[in-house]
């Protein structure tokens, strides 16, 4: 028999302290969603020993607006006859909230592969960044002699990584270039770019020559880079940013070095 159980339990948890409740649209490129809990399936035959099996439920996924949706299926059988199936779907929407759709199906028959649906229960909701929600679902066969069923209790959390701090006080100094008054500069130019490391969670830095479009990756805690082989007749502008595990800082303001000891903005 197929009975729809529309009652579900959900408790909204206290927001996690490191994330603001109000986020502008698309404020974070990556959203981490975790599902943690248990699926319990019970089989109680009229004659013989019953069976109660618990399956640990855990999945973690990074969602982006380019790849916003994931669906997970958890299946557990008990007593060779009773099967619980929990499907949880998470979807990152335009407002930077994550919608959660959960469906618990309970099947029972002569084998665990039975398609005889006894009962189901659904839950739908959404959570903002920094929130978590507890969901409880139940589905049974409602038989007097053998009240078999499935129970799912799990928590869904929605977090965003902390963005690294932007490097500041970026300076560029040109070296190794020969310039004579009223004559073109000769040789190749080197530019030493320095900055202040303000981040505590970066995994590296990127420095970009906006003139050529070339970007160089650097290790964490770097505060200096020498760019070699530059044409002394060309104005080269440089940007620096900190790279986190899933987020990046803003680029620094563009800066350029013309001649040794001279500093000029690219604005």
For 85-125, how does the pLDDT look when each residue is reduced to its tens digit (9 = 90+)?
Answer: 999 999 999 999 999 999 999 999 999 999 999 999 999 99
Distance of CA 181 to the CA centre of its chain: 56
pTM: 0.63
- Looking at the fold, whether 260 and 175 belong to one and the same domain comes out as yes
Same domain, 32 and 144: yes
> Once rounded to an integer, what is the mean pLDDT over residues 159-168?
88
Instruction: State the CATH number of the domain containing residue 177.
Output: 2.60.40.10
Domain check: are 122 and 224 in the same one? no
Statement to judge: residues 187 and 135 lie in one domain: no
For residues 71 and 152, state if they share a domain.
yes
Residue 110, both tokens: 């002569």
Q: Of 109, 141, 159, which residue is a domain's last? A: 159
The domain of 235 spans: 168-265
Same domain, 217 and 113: no
Domain count, the chain: 2
* pLDDT tier for residue 136 given thresholds of 50, 70 and 90: very high
Among candidate residues 97, 124, 159, the one where a domain is terminated: 159
- Say which range, 129-143, 163-177, 189-203, has the weakest mean pLDDT: 163-177
**Predicted local distance difference test score (pLDDT) of residue 19:** 36
Q: Do 50 and 146 belong to one domain?
A: yes
Q: Identify whether residues 109 and 172 lie together within a single domain.
A: no
Kindly report, residue by residue over 201-243, the tens digit of the pLDDT. Answer: 899 999 999 988 999 999 999 999 998 888 877 888 899 999 9
């Amino acid at each position: 028999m197929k009975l729809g159980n529309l009652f579900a339990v959900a408790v909204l948890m206290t927001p996690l302290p490191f994330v603001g409740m109000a986020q502008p649209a698309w404020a974070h490129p990556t959203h981490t969603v975790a599902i943690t809990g248990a699926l319990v399936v019970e089989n109680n035959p009229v004659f013989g020993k019953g069976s109660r099996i618990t399956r640990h439920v855990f999945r973690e996924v990074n969602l982006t607006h380019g790849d916003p949706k994931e669906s997970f299926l958890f299946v557990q059988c008990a007593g060779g006859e009773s099967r619980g199936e929990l499907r949880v779907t998470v979807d990152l929407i335009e407002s930077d909230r994550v919608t959660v759709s959960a469906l618990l199906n309970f099947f029972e028959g002569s084998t665990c592969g039975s398609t005889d649906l006894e009962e189901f229960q659904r839950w739908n909701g959404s959570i903002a960044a920094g929130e978590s929600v507890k969901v409880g679902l139940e589905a049974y066969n409602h038989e007097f002699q053998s009240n078999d069923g499935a129970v799912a209790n799990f928590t869904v959390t929605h977090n965003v990584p902390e963005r690294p701090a932007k490097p500041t006080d970026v300076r560029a100094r040109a070296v190794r270039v020969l310039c004579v008054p009223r004559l073109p500069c000769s040789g190749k130019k080197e530019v030493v770019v320095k900055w202040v490391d303000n981040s505590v969670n970066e995994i590296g830095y990127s420095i970009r020559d906006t003139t050529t479009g070339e970007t160089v990756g650097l290790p964490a805690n770097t505060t200096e880079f020498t760019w070699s082989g530059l044409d002394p007749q060309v104005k080269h502008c440089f940007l620096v940013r900190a790279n986190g595990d899933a987020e990046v800082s803003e680029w620094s303001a563009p800066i350029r070095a013309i001649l040794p000891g001279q500093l000029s903005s690219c604005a």
